[in-house]
């Protein structure tokens, strides 16, 4: 049965003169994969050699257009920049003033947002907050000075254009050499592609949010679990989830049943390849430019040393695997040797598919592709349910699931009175706007920072997995002040309605969060949903605090797994109206967004 | 860095050399030319511990310490760039209005009295909390429509799982057409039972109610058993329509569908229907059967 609303609607603006086909992305990735070889810390201008064109300098012209692409074997409409998907990799230099002229050749309004870049509000590229957007046929000139260096990315901030292909890598070379040595570098831009019109995918998700969850627990699973754990425990477990009207297999909303996962625009069969010479130190700039997909990344046979997060240097951490939330970037050093080829394996968090590329000594090589890990199941502990006031169980890892003897595990539903749970020290003060709110289907009752938790599906997997706790900024808190006040916001949602919000109030009805220019404030986020949300604040850094409230890690996107409470410091040194939102594109569009207004 | 395994030694050395600092220095500062005096800073220790429990939503802005990196003074250009004169409606939003049309049952059967067909469907149009609902159910036997109704209801979410419904129902059949005012609730009960309960008052004063519950039992993720029970109740005798006071009838169905896609699932099922109480007596007087069991085949689809 064909999806009746998957017809190319909004993107069907092909012009005969532009009827070029970006073909071969499904199979031709290797031909594009010559890497971005360059001398380290040089200001040289490598030629176009990556999966996307590489453009350097201070003056740029970007042409946003609609174009058919073939990612999956079907020709589908996409949005491209300079006829490229992903958009060209831009290479800037710290301290430079860059000028980017963006021309809109679409039939719709468009925009480009420079993710994580500090700049004046009117250059931030959010229609309705920063500027009016770029009308069809118009050219908008972005111009700003770069106050930072590192690996970033850019993308459209207009409706679903990011999902349709409007995203690209952004590298800002530092004025001072990086505090580590490398011989060669590659951008590894991960993303998710759908053949559907993204607006139709949104409508589908509103009608049936669980559309892609073909992993729900079945009668067959029940029989298996009853044999293994006993009938009474299995019934108790199903009962807890049933009372909450939730399913523990909801790891991601949209998965490989809809998406094809890409490395630098190449599907797994295309095998994007980055070259190395044995003995070289290779810097991999990982960027998650997905609309909705978290990835767990590893390179079997190689240790990875993470040296920067969200563009900012950290104390090096050596790991086997890392989870990259949507919109995050990690710079990773590897020293491939002993094999001619290594697989870059990025399975989605729900274990439904993977993106894949290869590091190799020459094109055309491949290494074995690992099998996907088993699918994780959410537990009540993941969602910070303190088992209905059974305080003794607090913090029990993997807890409530099958071990919970008495009822009550799933008792913390929206309409419940949480007064009874006050005993736990970390019982959050839920905002009044959540109580009885039809858009809030769940609240956590014992949320914790969980900075040292590798996360759902990554615990005890025999590999050393990156955590927020293991990453420390390489510098002291550049501001140094204690926050003068604390603002707590809860991430809220309703799975069945696919409704998402902060404090139960969707963007359309929310007042801006007002900050005073110059103030240092503490943002506390509490995840009251069963999903994981990458939260991005435009314009200023989000300085993640450790569990004791100290400066820990400078980021632009803070990942919020279910059941977490995390705090970060914000230095309000950028006037203007800034977007603050979940970077899962469809969560943002469904309302998980606020305006943060920094006023004089 | 508790979980930090040893980084390559050369790397660490390179970092130390490049940045030229000794780690950890307790009063270490990021290297900034504009570093201000911070003599009265009680918070210089970046790992200062403070009491989370003392946090409150409305702590006054009391931090008087100067920041290490000074906050730049605001210039008129900064203000102009920060608050440009723009159309604040320029942000496009995903539609707040959505819709879904579901044919939960679209089925046929072959019985002694001839072939029959039945449908039951619903549609909603609206936002996450306010929806216009259409619900319709009907049955045809041997080429005539035996029963058919259409409800038009406004549904408002009053809690995460329940909607309150109000509107009208029109019965085209059986008998003479009549119109009812309808009030009810629908939603998802604990354990994921989909439930609706509606009370009706007709234009001729009859009061009736209908309660329906449905469940989705996954045998596999595509092979799904759907039990359904529906009970009808009348407050008064309604002889023109063959209805006696009390519980008038019950219908139970068990349908097994295979989801070829999420949107399209053929099924087979068995349906048992029986009249109860005074209604059953009235039927017997008319020489009609009071119970019926049939095997049905159909499709479930939504768009």
Looking at residue A503, its pLDDT comes to 97
* Smallest CA–CA distance from B81 into chain A, residue: A122
Are A309 and A558 a contacting pair, CB within 8 Å?
no
Edge-to-edge strands, sheet with A87-93: A54-56, A87-93, A167-173, A150-155, A113-115
Is it the case that residue B20 has pLDDT exceeding 60? no
Q: What residues of B are in contact with residue A518 (Cβ under 8 Å)?
A: 71
Scan residues 95-134 of B and list those with Cβ closer than 8 Å to A. Answer: 95-96, 98-100, 128-129
Least confident of A23-32, A78-87, A436-445: A23-32
Separation between Cα atoms, residue B190 and residue B139, nearest integer Å: 31
Looking at residue A384, its pLDDT comes to 77
* Rounded mean pLDDT, A524-547: 97
Subunit contact A177:B18, Cβ cutoff 8 A: yes
Of B15, B28, B26, B18, the C-alpha closest to A316 is: B15
* Rounded mean pLDDT, B187-198: 96
Name the 3-class secondary structure at A332.
Answer: strand
Confidence of residue A50 (pLDDT cuts 50, 70, 90): very low
Q: What residues of A are in contact with residue B262 (Cβ under 8 Å)?
A: 208, 211
Cis peptide upstream of residue B174 (ω within 30 degrees of 0)? yes
* Smallest CA–CA distance from B54 into chain A, residue: A486
B128-132 long-range contacts, Cβ below 8 Å, gap at least 24?
B128/A438, B128/A439, B128/A494, B128/A497, B128/A499, B128/A506, B128/B96, B128/B157, B129/A438, B129/A439, B129/B156, B129/B157, B130/B154, B130/B155, B130/B156, B130/B157, B131/B155, B131/B156, B131/B163
Is it the case that residue B229 has pLDDT exceeding 90? yes
Looking at residue B47, its pLDDT comes to 39
Confidence of residue B113 (pLDDT cuts 50, 70, 90): confident
pLDDT in tens, B281-290: 999 998 888 9
pLDDT in tens, A216-238: 999 999 999 999 999 999 999 99
Residue of A1 and A260 predicted with greater confidence: A260
Interface probe for B, chosen from A480, A500, A581, A595 (most Cβ of B below 10 Å), is A480
Looking at CA atoms only, how far is residue B178 from chain A in angstroms?
Answer: 33
Q: What residues of A are in contact with residue B188 (Cβ under 8 Å)?
A: 245, 496
Classify B277 in phi/psi space as left (phi over 0), alpha (psi -120 to 50) or beta.
left
pTM value? 0.85
Which string of DSSP letters, residue by residue, matches A430-457?
--GGGTT-TT-----SS-B--TT---TT
Residues B136-151: b if buried by 16+ CB within 10 A, e if exposed: bbbbbbeeeeeebbeb
∠ at Cα A276 (B6, A42), nearest 5°? 85
Looking at CA atoms only, how far is residue B50 from chain A in angstroms?
Answer: 6
Alpha helices for A249-382 (secondary structure H): none
Is it the case that residue A402 has pLDDT exceeding 50? no
Looking at CA atoms only, how far is residue A414 from chain B in angstroms?
Answer: 7
Which string of DSSP letters, residue by residue, matches B260-285?
SBTTEEEEEEEEEEEE-HHHHHHHHH
Residue of B8 and A362 predicted with greater confidence: A362
Scan residues 203-262 of B and list those with Cβ closer than 8 Å to A. Answer: 217-222, 260-262
Separation between Cα atoms, residue A572 and residue A513, nearest integer Å: 12
* Rounded mean pLDDT, B158-175: 96
Separation between Cα atoms, residue A328 and residue A391, nearest integer Å: 35
pLDDT over 70, % of chain A: 84
Is it the case that residue A43 has pLDDT exceeding 60? no
Which string of DSSP letters, residue by residue, matches A539-572?
SS-EEEE-TTS-EEEEESEEEE-TTBEEEEEEE-
- CB atoms under 10 Å from CB of A43, counted, come to 11
Are A378 and A214 a contacting pair, CB within 8 Å?
no
pLDDT in tens, A116-154: 999 999 999 999 999 999 999 999 999 999 999 999 999
* Smallest CA–CA distance from B99 into chain A, residue: A207
Mean pLDDT across chain A? 87
Separation between Cα atoms, residue A297 and residue A315, nearest integer Å: 20
Separation between Cα atoms, residue A63 and residue A105, nearest integer Å: 7
A205: phi then psi, degrees, rounded to nearest 5 = -65, -35
Is it the case that residue A38 has pLDDT exceeding 70? no
Of B1, B33, B31, the C-alpha closest to B19 is: B31
DSSP B36: P
Is it the case that residue A199 has pLDDT exceeding 90? yes
* Smallest CA–CA distance from A593 into chain B, residue: B93
Check CB contact of B36 with chain A, cutoff 8 Å: no
């Amino acid at each position: 049965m064909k999806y009746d609303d998957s017809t190319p609607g909004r993107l069907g603006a092909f012009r005969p003169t532009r009827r070029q086909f970006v073909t071969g992305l499904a199979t031709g990735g290797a031909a594009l994969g010559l890497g971005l070889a360059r001398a380290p810390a040089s200001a040289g201008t490598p030629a176009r050699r990556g999966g996307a064109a590489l453009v350097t300098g201070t003056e740029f012209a970007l042409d946003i257009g609609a174009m058919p692409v073939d990612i999956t074997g079907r020709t589908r409409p996409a949005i491209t920049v300079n006829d490229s998907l992903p958009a060209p990799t831009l290479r800037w230099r710290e301290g430079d003033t860059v000028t980017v002229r963006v021309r809109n050749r679409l039939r719709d309004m468009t925009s480009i947002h420079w993710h994580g870049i500090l700049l004046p509000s009117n250059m931030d590229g959010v229609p309705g907050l920063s500027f009016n957007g770029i009308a069809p046929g118009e050219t908008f000139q972005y111009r700003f000075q770069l106050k930072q260096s590192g690996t970033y990315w850019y993308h459209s901030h207009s409706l679903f254009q990011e999902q349709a292909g409007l995203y690209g890598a952004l590298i800002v070379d530092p004025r001072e050499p990086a505090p580590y040595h490398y011989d060669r570098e590659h951008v590894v831009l991960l993303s998710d592609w759908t053949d559907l019109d993204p607006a139709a995918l949104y409508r589908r998700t509103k009608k049936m949010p669980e559309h892609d969850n073909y992993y729900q627990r079945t009668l067959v699973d029940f029989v298996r679990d009853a044999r293994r754990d006993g009938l009474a425990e299995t019934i108790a477990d199903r009962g807890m989830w049933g009372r909450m009207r939730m399913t523990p297999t909801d790891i991601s909303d949209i998965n490989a049943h809809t998406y094809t996962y890409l490395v630098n625009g190449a599907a797994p069969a295309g095998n994007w390849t980055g070259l190395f010479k044995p003995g070289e130190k290779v810097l991999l700039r990982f960027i998650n430019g997905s609309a909705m997909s978290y990835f767990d990344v590893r390179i079997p046979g190689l240790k990875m040393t993470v040296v920067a997060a969200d563009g900012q240097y950290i104390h090096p951490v050596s790991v086997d695997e890392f989870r990259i939330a949507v919109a995050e970037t990690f710079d990773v050093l590897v020293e491939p040797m002993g094999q001619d080829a290594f697989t870059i394996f990025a399975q989605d968090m729900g274990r439904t598919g993977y993106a894949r590329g290869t590091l190799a000594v020459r094109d055309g090589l491949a290494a074995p592709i690992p099998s996907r890990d088993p699918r994780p199941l959410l537990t009540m502990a993941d969602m910070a349910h303190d088992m209905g006031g059974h305080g003794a169980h607090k913090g029990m890892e993997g807890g409530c699931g099958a071990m919970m003897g008495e009822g009550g595990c799933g008792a913390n539903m929206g309409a419940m009175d949480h007064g009874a749970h006050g005993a736990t020290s970390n019982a959050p003060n839920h905002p009044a706007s959540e109580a009885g709110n039809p858009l809030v289907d769940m609240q956590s009752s014992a949320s914790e920072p969980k900075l040292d938790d590798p996360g759902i599906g990554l615990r005890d997997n025999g590999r050393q997995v990156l955590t927020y706790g293991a990453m420390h900024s390489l510098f002291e808190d550049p501001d140094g002040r204690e926050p003068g006040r604390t603002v707590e916001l809860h991430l809220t949602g309703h799975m069945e309605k696919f409704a998402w919000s902060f404090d139960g109030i969707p963007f359309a009805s929310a007042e801006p969060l007002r900050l005073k220019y110059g103030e240092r404030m503490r943002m506390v986020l509490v995840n009251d949903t069963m999903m994981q949300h990458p939260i991005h604040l435009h314009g200023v850094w989000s300085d993640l605090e450790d569990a004791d409230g100290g400066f820990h890690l400078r980021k632009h996107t803070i990942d919020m797994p279910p059941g977490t409470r995390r705090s970060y410091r914000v230095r309000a040194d950028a006037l203007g109206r800034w977007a603050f939102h979940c970077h899962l594109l469809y969560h943002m569009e469904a309302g998980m967004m606020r305006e943060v207004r920094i006023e004089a | 860095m508790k979980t930090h395994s040893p980084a390559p030694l050369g790397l660490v050395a390179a970092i130390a050399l490049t940045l030229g600092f000794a780690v950890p220095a307790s009063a270490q500062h990021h290297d900034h030319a504009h570093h201000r005096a911070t003599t009265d800073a009680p918070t210089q220790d970046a790992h200062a511990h403070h009491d989370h429990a003392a946090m409150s939503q409305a702590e006054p802005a009391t931090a008087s310490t100067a920041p290490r990196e000074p906050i730049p003074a605001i210039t008129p250009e900064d203000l102009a760039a920060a608050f440009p004169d723009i159309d604040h409606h320029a942000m496009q939003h995903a539609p707040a209005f959505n819709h879904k049309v579901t044919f939960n049952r679209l089925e046929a059967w072959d019985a002694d009295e001839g072939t029959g067909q039945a449908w039951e469907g619903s549609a909603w149009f609206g936002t996450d909390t306010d929806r216009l609902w259409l619900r319709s159910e009907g049955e045809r036997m041997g080429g005539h429509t035996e029963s058919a109704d259409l409800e038009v209801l406004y549904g408002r979410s009053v809690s995460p799982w329940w909607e309150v419904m109000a509107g009208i129902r029109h019965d085209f059949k059986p008998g003479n057409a009549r119109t009812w005012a309808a009030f009810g609730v629908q939603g998802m009960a604990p354990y994921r039972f989909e439930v609706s309960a509606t009370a009706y008052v007709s234009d001729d004063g009859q009061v009736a109610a209908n309660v329906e519950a449905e469940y989705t039992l996954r045998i596999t993720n595509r092979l799904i058993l759907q039990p359904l029970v529906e009970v009808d109740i009348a407050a008064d005798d309604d002889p023109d329509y063959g209805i006696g006071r009390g519980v008038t009838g019950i219908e139970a169905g068990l349908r097994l569908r295979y989801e070829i896609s999420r949107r399209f699932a053929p099924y087979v099922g068995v349906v048992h229907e029986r009249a109860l109480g005074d209604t059953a007596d009235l039927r017997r007087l008319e020489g009609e059967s009071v119970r019926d069991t049939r095997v049905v085949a159909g499709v479930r689809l939504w768009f």
